[in-house]
């Protein structure tokens, strides 16, 4: 018989919402894709899309609630073909991922 204990080392509990940026779906995409994320706190979030040279090709600034959120990206929205980086920034947190656009 062994005593089993559960210890949280990150300082968060199972009920706390953390800041997370998820991989877009579908990826690669041609028509549209969804970028989803969790916010640890309700407030302003900025989603910025960059081409491979670092040029900003789209910026979305909006108010989002605490928890899970989604942003729909239209493939025909003057996005460059190929690899696109997307970055989410909110309340001092920042995360970046990449996706592939096949819409041209």
To the nearest 10°, the Cα dihedral for 15, 67, 26, 96?
-100
Give me the pLDDT at residue 8, please. Answer: 60
Distance CA 8, CA 15 (A): 12
Q: What are phi and psi of 92, to 5 degrees?
A: 85, -5
Torsion sign, CA atoms 65, 70, 74, 79: positive
Binned at pLDDT 50, 70 and 90, residue 15 comes out as low
CB atoms within 10 A of CB 96: 12
Among the listed residues 32, 34, 36, 25, the one whose alpha carbon sits nearest the alpha carbon of residue 102: 32
The residue-averaged pLDDT of 13-35 equals: 88
CB 54 within 8 Å of CB 101: no
Binned at pLDDT 50, 70 and 90, residue 5 comes out as confident
Give me the pLDDT at residue 4, please. Answer: 81
pLDDT in tens, 34-89: 999 999 999 999 999 999 999 999 999 999 999 999 999 987 777 889 999 999 99
């Amino acid at each position: 018989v062994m005593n089993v204990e559960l210890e949280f080392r990150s300082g968060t509990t199972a009920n706390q919402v953390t800041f997370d940026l998820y991989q877009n779906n579908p990826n690669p995409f041609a028509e549209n894709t969804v970028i989803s994320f969790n916010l640890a706190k309700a407030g302003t979030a900025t989603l910025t899309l960059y081409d491979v040279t670092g040029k900003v090709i789209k910026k979305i600034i909006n108010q989002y609630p605490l928890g899970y959120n989604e942003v729909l990206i239209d493939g025909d929205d003057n996005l460059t073909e190929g690899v696109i980086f997307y970055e989410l920034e909110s309340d001092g947190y920042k995360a970046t991922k990449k996706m592939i656009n096949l819409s041209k």
